[in-house]
Structure 1
Amino acid sequence: MIPKEYQGLFDNIGRYVTLSDSEKERIAAIVTLAPIKKRQFIDQPGYISLYRNYVVKGAFRSFFLDKDGKEHTVQIAIEDWFVSDFYSYITRTPATLFVEALEDAILLRMKYEDIEPLCGEIHVLSEYYRITTEKAFAYSRNRALSNLSMTAEERYLQLTSMYPGIVNRVPQKVIASYLGMTPEFLSKIRRGISGNS
Structure 2
Amino acid sequence: METAAAISQFTDHIRTVVDLRDDEAALLASSVTFATLQPKEFLFTAGQVSSHMRYIASGCMRSYYLTEDSEEHTLQIGVEHWWINDLYSYLTQQPSRMYLQALEPTLVLQIHRDVLEKLYREIPAMNTFFRLKIQSGYVALQERTLDNMSTDTFEKYVKFCTQYRHIEQRVPQYIIASYLGTTPENLSYLRKKYASRLS
Which TM class, normalised by the smaller chain length? over 0.9
Query: Which residue in the other structure is 1:22 paired with?
Result: 23
Query: Which residue in the other structure is 1:150 paired with?
Result: 151
Q: Matched residues in 2 for 1:164 and 1:151: separation?
A: 19
1:1-150 correspondence runs (5 A): 3-150=4-151
Q: Matched residues in 2 for 1:57 and 1:10: separation?
A: 14
Runs of 4+ in 1 over 6 A off after TM superposition: none
Q: Matched residues in 2 for 1:95 and 1:180: separation?
A: 21
Q: Matched residues in 2 for 1:57 and 1:182: separation?
A: 28
Q: Is the 8 A contact 2:62 2:74 kept in 1?
A: yes
What residue ranges of structure 2 are gaps of 5+ in the alignment? none
1:176 maps to 2:174? no
Identity among equivalent pairs (%): 34
1:184 is aligned with what amino acid? E
For the residue of structure 2 that corresponds to 1:129, the secondary structure is: helix
Q: Matched residues in 1 for 2:35 and 2:72: separation?
A: 26
Q: Matched residues in 2 for 1:51 and 1:129: separation?
A: 13
Q: Structure 1 residue 39: deviation in Å?
A: 1.0
Q: Structure 1 residue 173: deviation in Å?
A: 0.6
Q: Structure 1 residue 34: deviation in Å?
A: 2.1
Give the aligned length.
Answer: 196
What residue ranges of structure 1 are gaps of 5+ in the alignment? none
Q: Structure 1 residue 33: deviation in Å?
A: 2.4
Query: Which residue in the other structure is 1:191 paired with?
Result: 192
Q: Matched residues in 1 for 2:138 and 2:13: separation?
A: 18
RMSD: 1.3
Deviations along 1:134-172, whole A, 9 cap, x unmatched? 000000000000001111111001111111011111111
Q: Is the 8 A contact 1:44 1:97 kept in 2?
A: yes
- State the TM-score, normalized to the length of structure 1: 0.95
Q: Is the 8 A contact 1:43 1:85 kept in 2?
A: no
For the residue of structure 2 that corresponds to 1:131, the secondary structure is: helix
Deviations along 1:49-99, whole A, 9 cap, x unmatched? 122111011111111111111111110011110112121112211111011
